[in-house]
Amino acid sequence: MAERTFLLHVAGLLAVPLLAFAQEIPESELQLNLNTYFDNFDVQVIYPSLSVSRKISPSSSVNARYLVDLVTAASIRSSIHSDTTAASNGGGDDGTVDGVTSASRRGEGYAPDDVRHEVGIGFSQAIGGGVLSANGLYSKESDYRSETVAGTYAHSFLKKNSSFQVGYVRSWDVNSPKTVDWSAPKNESIYSFNYTQIWLVNLISQAIFTYDVATGLLSDPYEIVFIENADPDRYEPVHPDRRVRKAVGLDFHYKLNESSALLTGMRYYWDDWDVRSFTNSVTVARHVGETKTISVGVRNYVQAKAFFFRDSYVAPEEFMTVDSKLDRGYSNSLEFKLTIDGGGHDRAATFLEDERVQVNALVDIYHRHTRTENWFSGKRELFSLLLSLGVRYRY
């Protein structure tokens, strides 16, 4: 689902804390983020988010979040059905859909091509030496709706040298493509198990296993599979209607000295569509001065293709796709992060006099190579830039 995924997943931002490891009751905090994304497929996304948590007692906390996605894609609009049913479905002004982002077209000029809203609420409660958290979120845009609930339980033991967390996420989505007159459900269940272990006074690790079962419409109906010499020559992609995805991750954090740490991570992923991948990352984080922390990280990712991905199709098959995410490829990224805490004597701005304030800035430069050209842009190389600026205020 190309960048539809991006819209819906950027939202994942709100879903993120659903499974974030929580051994302690969250403190009262307000966080405002402004994130932007650009790539050489002419996609631009701006997504501000607001998150607030409130500790209502020593053993409980509530939270709420709101996010908006504003997507603009300058690439050509296209779809098999865009001339027919789209306009009647009430989405974009001209009823067309962007072939890369799957964003519904709203109009010309500076208007975003699609807007998505998401709200979430949740709570955390200390129970029997552990922490129970539950969250719910609702996401809506012109052609997609999602409802999600999630729960986690985290517990520490052995002088808090060891801890585990079990988590469950369940979502019910409805995809209503602008270009057709039908809707299709997509349901997903994610089970997770995290285990954190302190090994030494300066070494800690975390192992994570996730088991994800998705059913329903798992393809992007806006994508087009071209079959030469066939009549017709354009087809909607057909993916299996069930996907079981598993991943194991293992992270080590090692404190090098008083001011620096080395953070390493690796992940192996496999699923029943034959996609396999391996990811590794290394980050060095360092305190600079009294209140600043910088980190530099690199990440590498390699992937095998899905069993039904073809360079081209000569005849309609049971399963067909043009989704680059299902092809063989690799990616590399470089990330810079700066955190400035309020208080201290080396503050750079007046509002940083307050020690309850924290400012975060993130720059991520990304390159992806796929074995075959993207079905829409004709490019094998994707370059993108992610910029994020956030302010946290603990009250």
Give the position of tokens 């002004």.
93
Find out whether 263 and 283 touch, Cβ atoms under 8 Å: yes
The yes or no reply on residue 264 touching other proteins (CB under 8 A) is no
The yes or no reply on residue 268 touching other proteins (CB under 8 A) is yes
The yes or no reply on residue 376 touching other proteins (CB under 8 A) is no
Binding residues for other proteins, rule CB under 8 A, total 115
CB of 28 to other proteins, least distance (A): 16
What distance in Å separates the CA atoms of residue 164 and residue 162, rounded to the nearest whole number? 7
Candidates 42, 272, 317, 335; binder of other proteins (CB under 8 A) is: 335
The yes or no reply on residue 167 touching other proteins (CB under 8 A) is yes
The yes or no reply on residue 159 touching other proteins (CB under 8 A) is yes
CB of 88 to other proteins, least distance (A): 23
Q: Reduce the DSSP state of residue 351 to 3 states and report it.
A: helix
The yes or no reply on residue 310 touching other proteins (CB under 8 A) is no
Candidates 38, 66, 153, 209; binder of other proteins (CB under 8 A) is: 209
The yes or no reply on residue 388 touching other proteins (CB under 8 A) is yes
Judged by CB under 8 A, the stretch of 77-85, 90-98, 122-130, 258-266 that binds other proteins is 258-266
The yes or no reply on residue 97 touching other proteins (CB under 8 A) is no
* DSSP string of 154-187, one letter each residue: EEEETTTTEEEEEEEEEEEEEE--TTSS--EEEE
The yes or no reply on residue 285 touching other proteins (CB under 8 A) is yes
Nearer to other proteins, 155 or 170 (CB): 170
Candidates 225, 243, 308, 376; binder of other proteins (CB under 8 A) is: 243
Going by C-beta distance under 8 Å and a sequence separation of 6 or more, which residues neighbour residue 300?
279, 280, 281, 330, 331, 332
Candidates 97, 208, 225, 359; binder of other proteins (CB under 8 A) is: 208
Which of 242-256 are b and which e, b meaning 16 or more Cβ less than 10 Å from the residue's Cβ? ebebebebebebeee
Phi/psi of residue 277, nearest 5 degrees: -150, 155
What distance in Å separates the CA atoms of residue 168 and residue 189, rounded to the nearest whole number? 7
Distances (CA, A) of 4 to 43, 129, 151, 314: 11, 41, 26, 27
Nearer to other proteins, 78 or 337 (CB): 337
